[in-house]
Chain A
Amino acid sequence: TQLLEQSPQFLSIQEGENLTVYCNSSSVFSSLQWYRQEPGEGPVLLVTVVTGGEVKKLKRLTFQFGDARKDSSLHITAAQPGDTGLYLCAGMKNTDKLIFGTGTRLQVFP
């Protein structure tokens, strides 16, 4: 059972466009993380959000944790080719193990 669904699954955009990736669940998480993975490599942590409603910014990336701690979004402003990759959300429940989302593959064309 996949507890974390990401949408869209694939996204192809031109450089300079804005985009939002969603991570949704019917379960409550104690924290939520976003990772980025490039081809042939393992995922790398971008951010951790803990509090419902929390917003964190990392340069052009804005992460938000839903008020009920069941969902999250990642917004990228003025996307660049270097943003290309697989974006994964991961939630932590009381078992202290991460549950990963289904992933969103982003391609940004110059």
Chain B
Amino acid sequence: DAGITQSPRHKVTETGTPVTLRCHQTENHRYMYWYRQDPGHGLRLIHYSYGVKDTDKGEVSDGYSVSRSKTEDFLLTLESATSSQTSVYFCAIASFSGIGDTQYFGPGTRLTVL
């Protein structure tokens, strides 16, 4: 199994509070991704990174920001959490991006915003 951990694994927070989720990898992969998973939507890309300090938006980036100061860590921040951000969040890593790449997923973080 690829070395990917996510923390916390579960979090309950209140509307309007800031939340930061952490993804840590030990594989030295260049690419890192944050997805959210909701029933009926599969996985939707929030943000991704193609190197240290190099990030870009995905299809559902509103209300989220990311940072990558080290190869191994990719942080997802909800500046002011809303109930619509209740979801399961997955981090993924890949050694390259393109045809034939394999994304390895972390175990997920279940976030509930009350």
Contacts and interface: CB of A to CB of B under 8 A. Distances in A.
A88 B43 contact: yes
A43 B43 contact: yes
Given A41-B107, A42-B90, A44-B105, A50 B100 contact: yes
Nearest to A96: B97
A18 interface: no
A7 interface: no
A92 B102 CA distance: 11
A98 B103 CA distance: 9
A30 B107 CA distance: 28
Interface string A13-48: 000000000000000001100000000111111001
B92 interface: yes
B107 A103 contact: no
Given A42-B106, A42-B107, A2 B41 contact: yes
Interface of A: 2, 4, 6, 9, 30-31, 40-45, 48, 50, 88, 90, 92, 96-103
